Structure 1
Amino acid sequence: MMGPRQVAQGALFYEFSIEEFVPADHPLRGIDRFLDLSDVRPLLASSYSSHGRPSIDPELMIRMLLLGYCQGIRSERRLCEEVHVNLAYRWFCRLDLTDPVPDHSTFSKNRHGRFRESGLFRHLFETVLQRCIHEGLVGGESFGVDASLIPANANQTRGIDSKDGLPADLTTRVVDEYLETLDDAAFGASTKVVPKYISPVDPAARWTGADGGAAFFAYSTNYMVDLDNAGIVDVEPSVPIRTAEAFAARRMIDRITDRFDMTPDKLVGDTGYGSAEMLGWLVEERGIAPHIPVWDKSKRTDGTFSREDFIYDPATDSYTCPGGKELRTYRRNFSKPRKANGGKDGFIRYRASKHDCDACPLKPQCCPGDPGRRVMRSVHEAARDVARDIRKTDAYMTSFIQRRKVEMLFAHLKRYIGVPVMRLRGPKGAYEQFQLAATAQNLRKLAKLVPQPQPTG
């Protein structure tokens, strides 16, 4: 028997509780367990006036922003619509059925003022990270570092030739932020090479073809990850240049040491972090074992002897060539021995005697076009040797496999957190977006790995 047609009957009174409506195993309940926003209002107190109309609760706006990243909602306009109709979202944001949802324009107004000036997003990230440490998800012994390209929110076909420069009358917020980062080693000061094009809407974004395809404007998001449970311990934006990404890694290690008193025993990374300066900083200044391939271009491809064919003797600070002759930094006998120092490029030069090379039968295989052979050694060569020795161990192979955890976080960032391209513009927009995204990833990991406490009785 077919039942009667269902017709909605409006009732005069309802007895309804959002708390009872949201299931106990809903993902947002797990995230809410670890979200502590008790410090938001004191942190922003100085940014609000003591008189005037009451503002929207800043905790509500932060909850809505984190909700958007946790659920992969890219548009703030759509976020407001979803919170309006979704009861679970209303519960997470502490809104009742009749409470109004803030307008989407409210986020932009507060983002460019109170939130960024107060360092709120960094505070939120570190608060969640502290909870990860408390729950045992961060061991602090082995860290992995990597960077991923994020296309900028800019038209890739409307770049300005860098020779022409930006228009003199172009004065916008992102241009001011770009000028502020010209001396930052993670942005403008990372290289002297001028990019081919500059974006007028986001000049801090770098024109790059680092992914091997067509060039485009992009930023790099840099993650420092604890390899025990793939928890993000720090995040830093930069331009997609190898030196900038290495500097961002150093900045993150220093910040983790200062804020949480954690210095890893080893750092795992790819060849982009294997420069002599980076390895020297890790080994000589921080005492961190570099599980990183060495960036080395000393291998010759013309059939002549490479630097690895020469044997270095640290006792005499000299090299011995395949013909048994000695290469030294100085050929004169000084009354006071001099210690060789690297030049401006960071290399020490060892030279063979022209007389020895002229009489050597191996000269065609060694230096056929030069009067004498010269070998260059980095001032950080000892640290590079440490990295080479580590690469021969089984522990390095384990680290090589663990490094994939960082790459998986980038895939999660682009697919589930909803950051395949930049939403915001400018360096400060990159800071906000990457910090909120990393905070959301850590919250999701806490909700997944830390079990819900069982009720007693």
Structure 2
Amino acid sequence: MRGEVRGQSSFSLVQPAQRVPQGHPIRRIKDLADAQLKGLSPVFDAMYSGTGRPGIPPEMLLKACLLIALYSVRSERQFCERLEYDLLFRFFLDMSLDEPSFDASSFAKNKQRLLDADVARRFFEGVVGQAKGQGLMSAEHFTVDGTLIEAWAGVKSFKKKGGKDEGPPDDKGNPTVNFHGEKRGNATHESTTDPESRLARKGGNGAKLSYSASVLMENRTGLVADITVELATGEAEWVGALRMLDRQKEKGLVPTTLGADAGYDVQRFVDATRERGVTPHVAQTRDVRRASRVDGRTTRHGGYALSQRARKRVEEIFGWMKTVGGFRKTRYRGQARTGLWAYFVAAAYNLTRMARLMPA
């Protein structure tokens, strides 16, 4: 029998939570995120004044950032538009059906407040602490690797420092620029759009204005133990790796081994790692012009081969962050804001993994 179109009801008692399947992983991710945000409540109290008109709860803004990374939302404006009709988003943010969506400008207005209170780092470290509490992270074997994150600036904005204004462009949106015969470098040029970005390239790809992001991965479960964003210089990956090792030491954690690819097979990095009490399980370079800085005293042990197999999983993190998390290109200008978003994307990745690894 053919059914009839009954039209939409003007009144309903159904809540967003009833439309999200009970076995959906977003429910476990929500529980983990809510538990961590509850612990940050004293930090949120210090961020806001005790008087004035109430603003959007910071917990809602932080969970909105997680949804942007989890569901590959292109922009904050698109997220606010989708929030009007997506029941799963409303469930995750604890919003009722009749509650109006907030404006995209709320993200920009609260960005500096989040930076000043270092909320993104605190939230990420809290998620890592939850993973440790569930026995999902060890304190022995780790891997480090780096990648380039394209800056929110085009190569046409990369101009000579202190150069004279050439007058109004022929096209404000896409001006005609001729760089033929001009030698450009970070020492003499900088971007007028994002001065902190650096012209860099990796592998056989062309040079782009970028930042360098480094990840410290726990080998057993592949979770992100730490992440940092550095200026894209020639030593950014080594500097970022050592910075993350020092941060682990401040927490009372000294890894036993640190796996890495051949790009880290340099004397200064290997020596600095050993000075910190960590055995560098670095892949040996195949460059015939110089010998590897890691010899048989390290490579003869079975753990070295295990580290070399496990270190390849760090590429899964970069793959997820750049495709699903939308971190192939930064959404913001400046190292600080790019680092803030890196913490959110890394936290989203960890929460996704934890939802699958934790027992039912």
Short-chain TM bin: 0.7 to 0.9
The one-letter amino acid paired with 2:106 is: T
In the TM superposition, residue 441 of structure 1 has moved relative to its aligned partner by 0.5
Q: Deviations over 1:159-187 (max 9, x none)?
A: 1024x4698xxxxxxxxxxxxxxxxxxxx
Q: 1: distance between equivalents of 2:47 and 2:31?
A: 28
Q: Deviations over 1:111-140 (max 9, x none)?
A: 02x110001000000000000111111111
Query: Does residue 289 of structure 1 match 2:250?
Result: no
Q: 1: distance between equivalents of 2:164 and 2:311?
A: 40
Corresponding residue of 1:138:
137
Contact 2:321 2:345 in 1 (8 A): yes
Corresponding residue of 2:181:
none
The one-letter amino acid paired with 1:245 is: E
Q: Deviations over 1:238-286 (max 9, x none)?
A: 1233422111111101111212x22111000012222212111222x22
Q: 2: distance between equivalents of 1:254 and 1:24?
A: 42
| Structure 1 residues 96 and 292: alpha-carbon distance in aligned structure 2, compared to 1, 3 A threshold | same
Q: Deviations over 1:340-364 (max 9, x none)?
A: xxxxxxxxxxxxxxxxxxxxxxxxx
Query: Does residue 273 of structure 1 match 2:264?
Result: yes
Please show how residues 24-103 of structure 1 align to structure 2 within 5 Å. Answer: 24-35=22-33, 36-103=36-103
Q: Deviations over 1:177-198 (max 9, x none)?
A: xxxxxxxxxxxxxxxx844641
In the TM superposition, residue 393 of structure 1 has moved relative to its aligned partner by 4.2
Q: What SS is found at the alignment partner of 2:146?
A: strand
Q: 2: distance between equivalents of 1:144 and 1:229?
A: 12
Contact 1:273 1:292 in 2 (8 A): yes
Corresponding residue of 1:16:
14
In the TM superposition, residue 215 of structure 1 has moved relative to its aligned partner by 1.3
Q: 1: distance between equivalents of 2:221 and 2:12?
A: 46
Match of 1:406 among 306, 314, 323: 314
In the TM superposition, residue 442 of structure 1 has moved relative to its aligned partner by 0.5
Contact 1:219 1:237 in 2 (8 A): yes
In the TM superposition, residue 158 of structure 1 has moved relative to its aligned partner by 2.6
Q: Deviations over 1:24-78 (max 9, x none)?
A: 1112102112112113331032332221111111111111111111212130011
What is the total number of aligned residue pairs between the two structures?
339
Please show how residues 325-404 of structure 1 align to structure 2 within 5 Å. Answer: 384=293, 387-404=295-312
Q: What SS is found at the alignment partner of 1:65?
A: helix
Q: 2: distance between equivalents of 1:101 and 1:109?
A: 16
Contact 1:239 1:245 in 2 (8 A): no
Q: 2: distance between equivalents of 1:68 and 1:219?
A: 21
Q: 2: distance between equivalents of 1:107 and 1:218?
A: 23
Q: 1: distance between equivalents of 2:202 and 2:81?
A: 38
Please show how residues 167-206 of structure 1 align to structure 2 within 5 Å. Answer: 194-195=186-187, 197-206=189-198
Q: What SS is found at the alignment partner of 1:411?
A: helix
The one-letter amino acid paired with 1:290 is: P
Corresponding residue of 1:347:
none
Q: 1: distance between equivalents of 2:188 and 2:205?
A: 16
Q: What is the TM-score with the length of structure 2 in the denominator?
A: 0.87
Q: 1: distance between equivalents of 2:282 and 2:268?
A: 13
Query: Does residue 258 of structure 1 match 2:250?
Result: yes
In the TM superposition, residue 2 of structure 1 has moved relative to its aligned partner by 4.1
The one-letter amino acid paired with 1:403 is: R
Gaps of 5+ in 1: 168-192, 301-307, 309-380, 453-457
Contact 2:127 2:347 in 1 (8 A): yes
C-alpha RMSD of matched pairs (Å)? 2.3
Please show how residues 86-165 of structure 1 align to structure 2 within 5 Å. Answer: 86-112=86-112, 114-162=113-161, 164=162
Contact 1:276 1:295 in 2 (8 A): no
Query: Does residue 432 of structure 1 match 2:340?
Result: yes
Gaps of 5+ in 2: 166-184
Q: What is the TM-score with the length of structure 1 in the denominator?
A: 0.70
The one-letter amino acid paired with 1:444 is: T
Q: 2: distance between equivalents of 1:39 and 1:122?
A: 14
Instruction: Using the aligned pairs only, state the percent identity.
Output: 29
Q: Which moved more, 1:125-134 or 1:408-417?
A: 408-417
Q: 2: distance between equivalents of 1:276 and 1:89?
A: 49
Q: 2: distance between equivalents of 1:41 and 1:106?
A: 19
Contact 2:186 2:198 in 1 (8 A): no
| Structure 1 residues 165 and 433: alpha-carbon distance in aligned structure 2, compared to 1, 3 A threshold | farther
